[in-house]
């Protein structure tokens, strides 16, 4: 032990030694700060990845946090026998954590794409990372006491203050720095590198003389190997991501973009009738160019039968519903979609502009990038027709868009005599979800008319037409639709005996029943 390492057998009694001890102590607490930030980023990365791939952020967060906190307790106990050689074991724990934490997102993505066993792999990864994070604190406490011995309460206060402040840094850096700059996969690898370097600096700058020559070489070689693996994984990450993503889709991927809100993928394959272009958001199919006209005609034309002058579209950032609305002599159309990246693609990507016929650039349309829930709360405009084309309610952020509170705000923006059209999922494959949407509209003071059509890419797909008075399902298009006719509309109101209407409770913000139904039905579908 040397004065640089802070030998506890020689108390700091001179001004020459005290600054060194203070500097060493500050350096160790700085490493605690960095390690805590890295540990929290690993946790957030696992939660974020699960929410993108599986949905249901609440469940993913519960699994990750519960497993990791439990494993941290086990790791703290497991670190007791390691305290006789804290420098060596801290180096082993930190390098292992940096390697596994850095590769965690890549490994879980591979498990999801190639093995279809994401949840099982998530539990294992969360447990192992929790063990290693839990083992850090006891070892760091021993090292802190070696620099300058102090009473247990003060040492714990200092260590945990650095730990919690570091966690704040990690929690803020993940969404505002790492995700925008690197994305999930490469962001985890960058954090792993930072983690490895921080641990290495602590060992070699403060406690180098605690290591034997062989031990120093072993730690150095291990660190070099970990850093080399992480750098190689970073270099390979783009190729890996493209290959793994392609394994999830039947058709070749022609565009892939990770926006602030979602994973946007376009696929395309040649068919005898032309290219079949498909849009996926977070892995869920949004449309196929082969039959999207069936879906959008059924959604839009019943709401436009009275030729409304002012129309509001919520969602539908691809511009396809807007294309159908623009066929009518409307005065103004407002489209509100959450994701600016999706709006930009719909305006500029030639595959999308060919399908939406340039609707997102039409002068009659005002396109707003905003959360629909927030926009409704802060806007007092009223409309003759409101068309709601939201993603499936199988994730926590989208469940609120199928709540009583949301539909009540929608109704407040409806002029007298106006109608609302809502896509509601499949009454055949997801009957509880579908009829829950109808019950929720009813709980918001609206009367509803259910109907369904066949969309081959989706199967049997359902909608609700809603109004303050009983709505009537009819059409009055300015041009002949490709699919819908009066006969189809009459048939659309009939539900088969094996799929009768269900008496479901409404979904609310505080009790999002639609989320439970959707997770149980839509994911199986």
414-425 and 459-467 as β-strands: parallel, antiparallel, unpaired? antiparallel
Residue 389 appears among annotated catalytic residues:
yes
The H or E element spanning position 370 is none
- Please state the residue numbers annotated as binding site for spermidine: 296, 318
List Cβ neighbours of 268 (8 Å cut-off, separation of 6 or more): 251, 252, 254, 275, 276, 277, 278, 351
Beta bridge mates, 255: 266
Q: Cα angle at 228 between 225 and 234, to 5 degrees?
A: 140
Residue 498 has what DSSP assignment? T
CA distance 410 to 230: 49
- Please state the residue numbers annotated as binding site for S-methyl-5'-thioadenosine: 262, 337, 371-372, 397
Q: Among the options 339, 384, 389, 394, which is catalytic?
A: 389
CA distance 82 to 179: 36
List Cβ neighbours of 131 (8 Å cut-off, separation of 6 or more): 71, 72, 74, 75, 78
Tokens 């990507």 — which residue? 349
Q: Can you list the alpha helix ranges (DSSP code H) found in 248-360?
A: 292-300, 320-325, 340-348, 350-356
Q: What is the 3-state secondary structure (H, E, C) of 332-368?
A: EEEEEECCHHHHHHHHHCHHHHHHHCCHHHCCCEEEE
- Token couple for 341: 């990246």
**Dihedral, 408, 414, 416, 420 alpha carbons, nearest 10:** -90
Q: Cα angle at 58 between 55 and 62, to 5 degrees?
A: 115
Task: Find out whether 163 and 137 touch, Cβ atoms under 8 Å.
Answer: yes
- Token couple for 501: 């209407």
Left, alpha or beta for 278 (phi > 0: left; psi -120 to 50: alpha)? Answer: beta
Distances (CA, A) of 372 to 317, 336, 337, 463, 515: 12, 6, 7, 19, 18
CB-based burial, 296-313: b 16+ in 10 Å, e otherwise = bbbbbbbbbbeebebbbb
Nearest to 355 by CA among 283, 284, 275: 275
Nearest to 51 by CA among 510, 388, 515: 515
What 3-state DSSP class applies to 230?
helix
What 3-state DSSP class applies to 179?
helix
- Please state the residue numbers annotated as binding site: 262, 296, 318, 337, 371-372, 397
Q: Which amino acids are annotated catalytic?
A: 389
């Amino acid at each position: 032990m040397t004065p640089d390492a802070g030998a506890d057998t020689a108390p700091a009694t001179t001004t020459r030694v005290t600054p060194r001890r203070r500097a060493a102590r500050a350096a160790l607490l700085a490493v605690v700060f960095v390690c805590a930030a890295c540990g929290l980023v690993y946790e957030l990365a696992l939660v974020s990845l699960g929410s993108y791939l599986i949905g249901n952020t609440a469940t993913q967060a519960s699994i990750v946090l519960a497993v990791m906190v439990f494993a941290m307790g086990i790791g703290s106990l497991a670190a007791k026998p390691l305290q006789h050689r804290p420098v060596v074991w801290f180096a082993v724990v930190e390098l292992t954590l940096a390697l596994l934490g850095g590769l965690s997102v890549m490994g879980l993505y591979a498990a999801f794409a190639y093995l279809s066993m994401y949840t099982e792999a998530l539990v294992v990864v969360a447990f192992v990372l929790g063990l290693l994070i839990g083992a850090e604190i006891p070892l760091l406490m021993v090292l802190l006491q070696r620099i300058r011995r102090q009473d247990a309460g003060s040492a714990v206060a200092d260590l945990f203050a650095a730990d919690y402040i570091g966690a704040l840094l990690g929690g803020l850096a993940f969404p505002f720095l790492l995700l925008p700059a690197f994305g999930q996969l490469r962001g985890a690898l960058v954090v792993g590198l930072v983690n490895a370097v921080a641990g290495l600096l602590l060992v070699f700058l403060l406690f180098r003389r605690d290591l034997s020559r062989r031990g120093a070489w072993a730690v150095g070689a291990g660190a070099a190997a970990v850093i080399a693996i992480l750098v190689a994984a970073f270099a390979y990450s783009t190729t890996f991501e493209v290959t793994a993503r392609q394994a999830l889709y039947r058709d070749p991927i022609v565009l892939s973009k990770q926006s602030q809100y979602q994973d946007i993928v376009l696929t395309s394959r040649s068919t005898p009738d032309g290219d079949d272009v498909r849009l996926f958001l977070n892995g869920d199919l949004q449309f196929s160019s082969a039959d999207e006209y069936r879906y959008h005609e059924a959604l839009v034309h019943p709401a436009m039968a009275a030729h409304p002058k002012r129309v509001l579209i919520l969602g539908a950032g691809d511009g396809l519903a807007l294309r159908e609305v623009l066929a009518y002599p409307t005065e103004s159309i407002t489209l509100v979609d959450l994701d600016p990246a999706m709006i930009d693609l719909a305006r500029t990507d030639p595959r999308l502009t060919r399908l939406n016929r340039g609707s997102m650039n039409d002068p009659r349309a005002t396109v707003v990038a905003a959360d629909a829930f927030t926009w409704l709360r802060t806007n007092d405009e009223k409309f003759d027709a409101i068309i709601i084309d939201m993603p499936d309610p199988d994730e926590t952020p989208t469940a609120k868009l199928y709540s009583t509170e949301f539909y009540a705000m929608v109704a407040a923006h409806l002029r007298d005599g106006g109608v609302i059209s809502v896509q509601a999922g499949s009454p055949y494959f997801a009957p509880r979800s579908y009829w829950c949407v109808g019950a929720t509209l009813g709980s918001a003071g609206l009367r509803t008319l259910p109907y369904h059509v066949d969309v081959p890419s989706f199967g049997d797909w359902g909608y609700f037409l809603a109004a303050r008075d009983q709505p009537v399902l009819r059409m009055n298009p300015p041009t002949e639709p490709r699919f819908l006719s009066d006969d189809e509309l009459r048939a659309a109101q009939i539900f088969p005996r094996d799929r009768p209407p269900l008496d479901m409770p409404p979904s609310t913000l505080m009790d999002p029943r639609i989320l439970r139904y959707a997770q149980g039905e839509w994911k199986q579908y």
